[in-house]
Amino acid sequence: MARDHARRFLGKSIVVTGAASGIGLAATRLFAAEGGRVIAVDRSPALKDAVSAIEGEVEPFEADAGTEKDVAAVMDRAVARHGGLDIVYANAGVLGGLVPLLEITAEQFAEILRINLIGTFLAIKYAAPKMMARGGAIVCTASVAGLRSGAGGTPYSASKAGVISLVQTAAQQLGGTKIRVNAVCPGLIETGMTKDMYERARQRGKADRIGQLNPLRRGGEPEEIANAAAFLASDEASYINGTALVVDGGLSSSHPYARAEPGKPAT
């Protein structure tokens, strides 16, 4: 039976974290456009202005996705406002910089884990009990950096590998509740976290090299990840559970090698 994509989330109670920019903002816009009733969460004071132009039902909620009392309050607010909770997109995260392994402090490592991994755990912990009455979908932003080395700094990569494992174990432990838990693994996407890298490449006249290591030869857009997250959150993905969907232009489909010139065979 054909589905009406424009109404996939009609009346659904949805929480999106990391919603002030990038992937989270794009996802908030998409969920609202398709009828969702969204609580948009971010610790940035820019959140309210960022979501103010979005058409549809969106409530900004300033909170820290890595702080337990804040996450509990967010889920309570969704239930109080919308009468329940159907979808959570645990997207909030920080990059942490490419600090050499032996120069990373324990405090730096812990702060990245607090937001990226513990924050995702908290989203699942406080969302799942509110979803059990009618089922729901939890989507988490992991990364290709969580699959193998070379796509991010050490603490960031470790945190995202943890998110993938968390999604797998959560899906199993929530078995029988009709709650699905999945992750999306973005590759190189132009967001607030990668802005400096993109700007440096443009300033050096090397913008054409952005994303050169993947078969599509380009970086991705936040909307492309939002589309993948929305799919995983929708009924169209009703039999997808405990998995990590890679959206990286094909980057992780191969081990690194020396590329040939276009049109010539690789050696």
**Could you count the other beta carbons within 10 Å of the beta carbon of residue 97?**
13
Q: How far apart are CA 213 and CA 210, in angstroms?
A: 8
Catalytic residue annotation: 156
Q: What 3-state class would DSSP assign to 181?
A: strand
Report which residue type is found at 90.
A
Q: How far apart are CA 144 and CA 138, in angstroms?
A: 19
187 in Cβ contact with 214 (< 8 Å): yes
Strand positions, DSSP E, the chain: 13-17, 37-42, 57-62, 87-90, 136-141, 179-186, 244-247
Backbone dihedral angles phi then psi of residue 129, each to the nearest 5 degrees: -60, -30
Q: How far apart are CA 37 and CA 39, in angstroms?
A: 7
Tokens linked to 50: 């960022």
Q: What 3-state class would DSSP assign to 29?
A: helix
